Structure 1
Amino acid sequence: MLYELRIYHVNPGKMQVLHERFRDHVIELFLKHGMKITQYWEDINDANNRLYYVVEHDNMETRNDNYERFRNDPEWIKVKRISELDGPYLNNQESIFMKTAAFFENK
């Protein structure tokens, strides 16, 4: 299993509308394209204006295929275009790829 930690550096004033976009559209679209989100977090320091989440993938190839389908989904293209009429939500996005440490079993 491949785990992708995505870190969104959110533009000032855009965190709430980003929450709404995830809640109303993105979570369902991710599921449609085979991507399972394990959890969402916000930075404890509001001044950092960051949103974090982990996506589970079978492997890197599946991850890339799923995101390609997601990015080209007409519904996503429309949601992104409409939701960002007043400017983009993010000023930067990072992805960190992880795997389970061999010594750890979550019981």
Structure 2
Amino acid sequence: MLYELRVYDVNPGKMKVIQERFRDHVIQLFMNHGMKVTHFWEDLGEANNRLYYVVEHANMEIRNLNYDRFRNDPEWIEVKRFSELDGPLVNKQESIFMKNAPFFDNK
């Protein structure tokens, strides 16, 4: 299993909007495209304005295929367009790819 930690540096004043976008649209769209979100966090330091989440993937090839399908989904394109009418929600996005360490049971 491949775990992708995605870190979003959210633009000032946009945290509520991006949270609503995930809650109302993106999580379901991810599921529609074979991606399972397992965790969400907000940075404890509000000044950092970061949102974190983990997506499980079978492997990197499947991950890339699923994201390509997601990014080209007409529903996602419209949700993104509408939610960013007042400007982009994210200043920077980073992905960190992880796998289970063999010495620890992560169940």
For Structure 1 versus Structure 2, the TM-score category normalised by the shorter chain is over 0.9
Correspondence for 2:67: 67
Q: Does 1:89 align with 2:81?
A: no
For residue 33 of structure 1, report the CA deviation from its aligned partner. 0.3
* Cα separation, 2, equivalents of 1:106 and 1:21: 29
CA RMSD of aligned residues (A): 0.6
Match of 2:51 in 1: 51
Unaligned runs of 5+ in 1: none
Which consecutive aligned stretches of 4+ in structure 1 deviate over 6 angstroms post-superposition? none
Identical residues among aligned pairs (%): 76
**Equivalent AA in structure 2 for residue 51 of structure 1:** L
Q: What is the CA deviation profile of residues 14-50 of structure 1, one whole-angstrom value per residue up to 9, with x for unaligned ones? A: 0000010001000000000000001100000000000
For 1:23, the equivalent position in structure 2 comes to 23
Segments of 5+ residues of structure 2 without an aligned counterpart are: none
Q: CA deviation at 1:105?
A: 1.1
Residue 103 of structure 1 aligns with which residue?
103
Task: Check whether the contact 2:100–2:106 (CA below 8 A) recurs between aligned residues.
Answer: no
- Residue 41 of structure 2: aligned partner: 41
Q: Distance between the aligned counterparts of 1:44 and 1:103, measured in 2? A: 29
Does the residue aligned with 1:17 lie in a helix, a strand or coil? helix
Alignment-mate amino acid for residue 93 of structure 2? Q
Letter in 2 for 1:106: N
Shift of 1:106: 3.2
The number of equivalent residue pairs is 107
TM-score of the superposition, structure 2-length normalised?
0.98
